[in-house]
Amino acid sequence: MAGLQNEIAELLREYQAKTGKLLTLGTVESATGGRVADKITNVPGSSDYYKGSIIAYSNEIKAGIVRVRKQTLKKHGAVSPEAAIEMAKGGRKLLNVDICISDTGIAGPTGATPGKPVGLFYLGLSARGASLSREHRFQGNREENKQQATESALSLLKEYLQELLGKTADDTLEEKHVVTCFLEHGKRILILRRSNRVGTYRRSWAGVSGYLEASDTEQAYTEISQETQLYKKDLKLVKKGEPLEVIDRNLNRKWIVHPFLFHVKAPEKIKIDWEHTEVRWIKPRTLRKLEETWGSGHVTGPISTGSSRSMRTPVRSVGSTNTKSLSPAFSFAKSSTRPSRSSCQNSKGRPLSLSFWAFLSFSDFRLASIFLISFVK
């Protein structure tokens, strides 16, 4: 963890590159006695973003300078989450910075009180729209406890910056609403292979999908009629799911997906347009063997084609594995991952109906579960 201060500097520069703003930092330290400030200022160029520190070692300085309320100190004590947060808030105002971190604790070997042992530390962080505290209980001597508290304070700052950067990345994504329709007949689900002429996810297996230009239900019927030549009289709406928000980092896009399940009355009427090259009807019961592989972002299952031959149809993984993502058409692609059944349950811990496993064409099993649960209530 020796490089935490350098990682913080890199995160600040990355945030600046994405937003044009360089966030400023300040610290209010008690038990660490300035060690956090020392670590931060060991980075060349830290004067660009680090503005200063207040060593509020005594209660008089905590209350008189940093403006920790006397009532807080009397009721909760100087070593408390409440005091840590007020120290960070007061420091942010006094130092006029975007983010301030604080610490208060009992380094030892003396100073313990009933319920507050040696090694107890509280860290605080204050930023615009955010105030938080974190408790730590260290088991070392005085020197070790102070060192661990310093590293933990830097870790807290790093984690906050990472979260802030992640939110900023989502804010820069282009948002698009799409409908995705799954068509069912005779306990089979229709999947269509996208052609090379479509704009995204070419040659992937998918449901019927398209951009939302009208009400979502009307758009669903429109897409189905355009892509399969099936009309309202040929369909029965079975379920309309809640919209799902999913990210494709490769396209720098946030998809808002509106999912539908339709029953097809006359499948022989299906005629695909230029967007697809072939169709298949899938038996959901053949998806018993499922696997969610968190490391690769793939979900795999053997899909029956209705003949003696079968094909492997895992889900296409798009974007980074840190932010799970999927095709707006919930597309399939190739993989060789072997399956398991470890997570086939709804939010109440009950197994999901296998009649809905055909919808599991996501690269994020968590999102797939949300989608399935929206139909299985």
pLDDT along the chain (377 residues), means of 10: 86 90 97 98 97 97 97 97 98 98 98 96 95 96 98 97 83 83 89 84 84 91 95 94 80 85 94 91 56 23 26 27 32 30 31 32 34 34
- Extract the runs of DSSP E, i.e. beta strands, from the chain: 25-29, 50-55, 99-105, 120-127, 130-137, 174-185, 188-194, 205-206, 208-211, 235-240, 244-248, 253-264, 276-282, 291-293, 298-300, 302-304, 310-312
Q: Within the chain, which residue ranges are assigned CATH 3.90.79.10?
A: 173-375
Q: What is the pTM of this model?
A: 0.51
Q: Does domain 173-375 have CATH number 1.25.40.10?
A: no
Q: Are 329 and 279 in contact (CB under 8 A)?
A: no
Name the one residue in this structure whose structure tokens are 């029956």: 304
Give the residue from 220, 234, 222 showing the smallest Cα distance to 182: 220
Positive/negative CA dihedral, 7, 8, 13, 17 = positive
Q: What is the pLDDT of residue 220?
A: 94
Q: How far apart are CA 318 and CA 322, in angstroms?
A: 11
Give strand pairing partners of 178.
Answer: 211, 257
* Cβ atoms within 10 Å, residue 211: 11
Q: What is the pLDDT of residue 42?
A: 97
Q: Does domain 4-170 have CATH number 3.90.950.20?
A: yes
Q: How far apart are CA 119 and CA 111, in angstroms?
A: 10
Structure tokens at 141: 């001597």
How wide is the angle at C-alpha 110 spanned by C-alphas 106 and 113, nearest 5°?
70
Structure tokens at 17: 């590159």
Interacting residues of 240 by C-beta distance below 8 A, sequence separation 6+: 216, 217, 258, 259, 260, 261
Q: Within the chain, which residue ranges are assigned CATH 3.90.950.20?
A: 4-170
State phi, psi for 368 to the nearest 5 degrees. -60, -40
Q: How far apart are CA 28 and CA 100, in angstroms?
A: 7
Q: What is the pLDDT of residue 187?
A: 85
Q: How far apart are CA 34 and CA 54, in angstroms?
A: 8
**DSSP-derived secondary structure letter, 232:** G
